[in-house]
């Protein structure tokens, strides 16, 4: 019979016919469940009413429609017939094989005289082994296919019963009745035991799938004390896929499950137990790739699918797994299978998530739940090394490329720090990622310090990278500031790596410090930050520096004392300038719109370390550009005169190209205010006439500015739609 089964044909066109017939009946307004009955329903009707086989009362009455093509009805009928026959044949085949197997032992149960060769236990064992070996050799791959199909149908039955009970009692969440009847625990206690996390605090070198009964018992008691996650209606709705099911006869399904239990017992006795691991992998893969989960990019699949596994898969496993007949032993065997099933799920979710690892990290914090999935699955399955290799590959291929801005690389690195600390608290992955990004930045990017300063000074970005109040700031040493390396003896390399990991574990709590470490040397960051602060202070209005002082004081926590002495002096200059400017403006001779910042020149951007040069340097070559404002020179002289009254021993040297100029431009339809650099103000002054049109070279000749300055200022006015560029290279007003 096993050979006959291996030749059994499979349906090929039935699924297509079912889809077309379903669409037709839905269009007609008919109930598809009644219009397309199963073969079981047809056979039951025919056997129940053998003398009353009329089309009017039969399950096939809806198919007696001349508008339906013959071939569709025939393909559908052949398909459901083959499904029915396949299921019946498999069950019959297993029963027949098992019956024949038992018959071989019948004679050996007779009362033989002591010492008889037929009475020996050795004969029974040898016979059993020989019979099982023969059966296994005769079984074909189609038998295994049918076995898998049969097991999947049984799982579907379990899900149907659960759905049916939920529809009748939506407020009662119970799944204990789905298990085989003879479990060690029953009711709510069985449900609680099934949902415990047992694979924690494992002993060294423990075999995860063959844990001792003592360990499982101890873990169960401990996990019960920590279980605080109850199953809710929302949980069930989140993992039950929205599939249309027939209204099932629970008693009929229970009878089929009892038959399934009997068949599984016989298969286990014949050493033909179903490969439930392979079946479960296929089910999970198909489930994760379904449209319901494929589009869920920001939810934790572990949290949802683990509950699905506990409620539906574990009862199914309780049917499939071999049993010894001893409740205690069978219970611990079930717990081992439970752990194995959970790890199959962890592995599948990890493989489902890992291809998008780069994007998952980039989309933090929206992907916090997905990071949790990777944290759980990678650690449970020992896949941290694989995650490291995959992430580094993605970073090299997609991030560390010429077309990616430096700030974007730094922003991604900050996200990496946040995510990888959660996934791998040991920071081994973070160390590897840091090394490749740092090597790339040192070799190919010259604007790293500028990018880090930009991120820290950006209030929106800084709110994401700043450390929490609970974390101590990482303080750079003098050696780190200058990028000096300590010589390490070869025999202490291993200890040095451990020290690096410990230091990184501490340092990575401070993302600001991690970003600053990208600067090579770190001292470049200090210089760049000081220069950027100086430029900002020169453009500030009303001498408002409170935000800058707060940001600087926070930043100082990462550095040795006096590292930011330049910044302190510049901020002090602004504070002193505010006080002096207020005193100068007490005179009525001072223009109320004319203000100054008095600089300690050596400490500001562009300052000279060797003090003031000769008197010729006091007259800037570009000062001619600002002679367009007749009152400017008088304002300067008045300000200097009043300043000598406040600071009698000092004199001022005005820098015409520093600071900002506030302008109000009048157009035909409106007026608009601008705060721009002095050079930009001088350029727009040239266009007071409506018909003025000038090239860059003409502006440079008139004002004495370099072409670089001219272009930078013209960009300001063209972006503001004040000036426009003609085809002949001349600029004019809009």
Please enumerate in sequence order all residues whose Cβ is within 8 A of that of 63, keeping only pairs 6 or more positions apart, or say none. Answer: 35, 73
Residue with tokens 């002082």: 549
Say if residue 620's pLDDT is above 70: no
Q: Which residue has the higher pLDDT, 573 or 110?
A: 573
Burial class (CB in 10 A: 0-12, 13-18, 19+), 151: buried
Report the pLDDT value the prediction gives residue 366, as an integer from 0 to 100.
92
Q: Angle 685-688-692 (CA atoms, 0-180°, nearest 5)?
A: 105
Band (pLDDT 50/70/90 cuts) for residue 648 is: confident
Token couple for 507: 């340092």
| Residues found in the chain | 734
User: CA–CA separation, 620 vs 325, rounded Å?
Assistant: 101
Task: Select the highest-mean-pLDDT range: 32-41, 104-113, 386-395, 530-539.
Answer: 386-395
Q: Per residue in 698-724, is it b (16+ CB within 10 Å) or e — as a string? A: ebbeebebeeebbeebbebbeeeebbe
Report the pLDDT value the prediction gives residue 225, as an integer from 0 to 100.
64
Report the pLDDT value the prediction gives residue 12, as an integer from 0 to 100.
53
Overall average pLDDT of the 284-310 stretch: 86
Q: Tell me the pLDDT tens digit for each residue of 120-176.
A: 888 888 999 999 999 989 888 888 888 998 999 899 999 989 988 887 776 667 899
Say if residue 242's pLDDT is above 60: no
Pairing of strands 671-676, 661-666: antiparallel
Report the pLDDT value the prediction gives residue 53, as an integer from 0 to 100.
58
Compute the half-sphere exposure of residue 514: CA atoms within 13 Å on the CB side of its CA: 29
Q: Which residue has the higher pLDDT, 490 or 555?
A: 555
Question: What does the mean pLDDT of the chain come to?
Answer: 85
Report the pLDDT value the prediction gives residue 616, as an integer from 0 to 100.
42
| Dihedral sign from CA coordinates of 626, 673, 462, 300 | negative
In the chain, the largest separation of any two C-alpha atoms, in whole Å, equals 136
Band (pLDDT 50/70/90 cuts) for residue 406 is: very high
DSSP E strands in 65-131: the ranges are none
DSSP E strands in 557-701: the ranges are 661-666, 671-676
Say if residue 419's pLDDT is above 70: yes
Say if residue 25's pLDDT is above 90: no
Report the pLDDT value the prediction gives residue 548, as an integer from 0 to 100.
92
Query: If residue 731 lies in a helix (H) or strand (E), which one and from where to where?
Result: strand 731-733
User: CA–CA separation, 307 vs 309, rounded Å?
Assistant: 5
Overall average pLDDT of the 651-670 stretch: 85
Q: Tell me the pLDDT tens digit for each residue of 111-128.
A: 877 778 888 888 888 999
* Residue 323 φ/ψ, nearest 5 degrees: -130, 145
Band (pLDDT 50/70/90 cuts) for residue 495 is: low
Residue closest to 319 by CA, chosen among 256, 403, 382, 367: 256
Query: If residue 732 lies in a helix (H) or strand (E), which one and from where to where?
Result: strand 731-733
| Dihedral sign from CA coordinates of 25, 27, 31, 33 | positive
> In CATH, what is the architecture of 661-733?
Orthogonal Bundle (1.10)
Is the Cβ–Cβ distance between 687 and 674 less than 8 Å? no
Say if residue 109's pLDDT is above 50: yes
Report the pLDDT value the prediction gives residue 467, as an integer from 0 to 100.
61
Report the pLDDT value the prediction gives residue 490, as an integer from 0 to 100.
54
User: CA–CA separation, 258 vs 48, rounded Å?
Assistant: 23
Domain locations in the chain as residue ranges: 2-110+117-139, 145-198+214-237+247-271+278-289+297-352, 383-546, 661-733
Please tell me the chain's helix, strand, coil percentages from 3-state DSSP, rounded to the nearest 5: 65, 5, 35
| Dihedral sign from CA coordinates of 479, 483, 489, 494 | positive
Count CB neighbours of 107 within 10 A: 9
Query: If residue 723 lies in a helix (H) or strand (E), which one and from where to where?
Result: strand 723-725
User: CA–CA separation, 108 vs 120, rounded Å?
Assistant: 9
Query: Among residues of the chain, what percentage have pLDDT more than 90?
Result: 49
Q: Tell me the pLDDT tens digit for each residue of 697-726.
A: 999 998 889 999 999 999 999 999 999 999
Report the pLDDT value the prediction gives residue 612, as an integer from 0 to 100.
47
């Amino acid at each position: 019979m096993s050979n006959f089964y291996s030749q059994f044909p499979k349906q090929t066109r039935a699924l297509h016919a079912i889809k077309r017939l379903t669409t037709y009946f839905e269009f007609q307004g008919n109930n598809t469940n009644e219009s397309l009955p199963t073969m079981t329903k047809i056979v039951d009707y025919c056997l129940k009413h053998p003398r009353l086989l009329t089309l009017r009362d039969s399950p096939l009455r809806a198919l007696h429609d001349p508008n339906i093509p013959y071939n569709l009805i025939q393909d559908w009928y052949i398909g459901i017939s083959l499904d029915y026959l396949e299921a019946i044949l498999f069950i019959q085949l297993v029963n027949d094989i098992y019956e024949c197997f038992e018959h071989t032992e019948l004679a050996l149960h007779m009362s033989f005289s002591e010492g008889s060769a037929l009475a020996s236990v050795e004969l029974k064992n040898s016979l059993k082994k020989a019979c099982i070996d023969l059966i296994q050799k005769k079984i074909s791959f189609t038998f295994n296919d049918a076995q898998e199909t049969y097991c999947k149908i049984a799982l579907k039955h379990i899900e149907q019963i659960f759905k049916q009970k939920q529809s009748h009692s939506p407020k009662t969440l119970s799944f204990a009745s789905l298990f085989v009847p003879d479990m060690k625990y029953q009711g709510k206690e069985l449900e609680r035991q099934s949902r415990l996390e047992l694979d924690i605090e494992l002993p060294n070198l423990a075999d995860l799938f063959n844990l001792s009964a003592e360990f499982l018992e101890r873990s169960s008691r401990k996990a019960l004390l920590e279980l605080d996650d109850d199953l809710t209606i929302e949980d069930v709705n989140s993992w039950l896929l929205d599939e249309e099911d027939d209204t099932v006869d629970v008693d009929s399904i229970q009878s089929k499950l009892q038959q399934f239990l009997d068949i599984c017992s016989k298969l286990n006795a014949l050493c033909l137990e179903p490969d439930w691991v392979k079946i479960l992998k296929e089910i999970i893969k198909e489930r994760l790739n379904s449209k319901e989960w494929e589009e869920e990019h920001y939810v934790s699949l572990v949290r949802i699918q683990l509950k699905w596994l506990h409620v539906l898969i574990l009862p199914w496993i309780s049917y499939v797994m071999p049993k010894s007949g001893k409740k205690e032993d069978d219970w611990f065997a079930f717990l081992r299978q439970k752990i194995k099933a959970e790890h199959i799920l962890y592995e599948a979710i990890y493989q489902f998530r890992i291809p998008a690892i780069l994007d998952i990290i980039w989309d933090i914090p929206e992907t916090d739940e997905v990071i949790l999935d990777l944290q759980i699955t990678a650690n449970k399955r020992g896949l941290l090394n694989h995650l490291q290799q995959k992430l580094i590959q993605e970073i090299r291929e997609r991030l560390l490329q010429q077309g990616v801005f430096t700030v974007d690389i730094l922003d991604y690195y900050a996200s990496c720090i946040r995510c990888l600390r959660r996934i791998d608290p040991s920071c081994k992955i973070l160390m590897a990622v840091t090394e490749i990004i740092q090597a790339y930045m040192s070799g190919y990017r010259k604007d790293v310090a500028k990018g880090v300063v930009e991120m820290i000074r950006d209030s929106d970005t800084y709110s994401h990278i700043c450390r929490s109040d609970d974390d101590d700031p990482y303080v750079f040493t003098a050696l780190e500031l200058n990028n000096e390396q300590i010589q390490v003896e070869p025999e202490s390399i291993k200890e040095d790596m451990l020290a690096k990991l410990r230091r990184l574990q501490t340092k990575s709590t401070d993302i600001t410090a991690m970003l600053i470490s990208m600067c090579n040397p770190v001292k470049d960051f200090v210089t760049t930050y000081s220069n950027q602060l100086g430029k900002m202070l020169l453009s500030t209005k009303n001498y408002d520096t409170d935000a800058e002082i707060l940001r600087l004081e926070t930043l100082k926590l990462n550095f040795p004392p006096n590292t930011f002495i330049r910044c302190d002096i510049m901020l002090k200059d602004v504070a002193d300038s505010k006080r002096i400017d207020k005193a100068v403006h007490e005179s009525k001779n001072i223009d109320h719109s004319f203000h100054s910042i008095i600089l300690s020149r050596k400490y500001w951007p562009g300052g000279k370390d060797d003090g003031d040069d000769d008197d010729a340097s006091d007259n800037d070559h570009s000062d001619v550009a600002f002679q367009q404002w007749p009152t400017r020179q008088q304002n300067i002289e008045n300000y200097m005169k009043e300043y000598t009254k406040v600071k009698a021993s000092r004199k001022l040297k005005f820098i015409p190209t520093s600071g900002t100029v506030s302008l109000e431009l009048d157009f035909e339809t409106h007026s608009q205010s601008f705060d721009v650099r002095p050079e930009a103000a001088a350029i727009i002054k040239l266009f007071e006439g409506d018909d003025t049109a000038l090239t860059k070279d003409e502006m440079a000749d008139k004002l004495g500015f370099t072409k670089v300055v001219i272009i930078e200022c013209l960009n300001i006015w063209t972006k503001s739609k004040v000036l426009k560029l003609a085809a002949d290279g001349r600029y004019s007003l809009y």
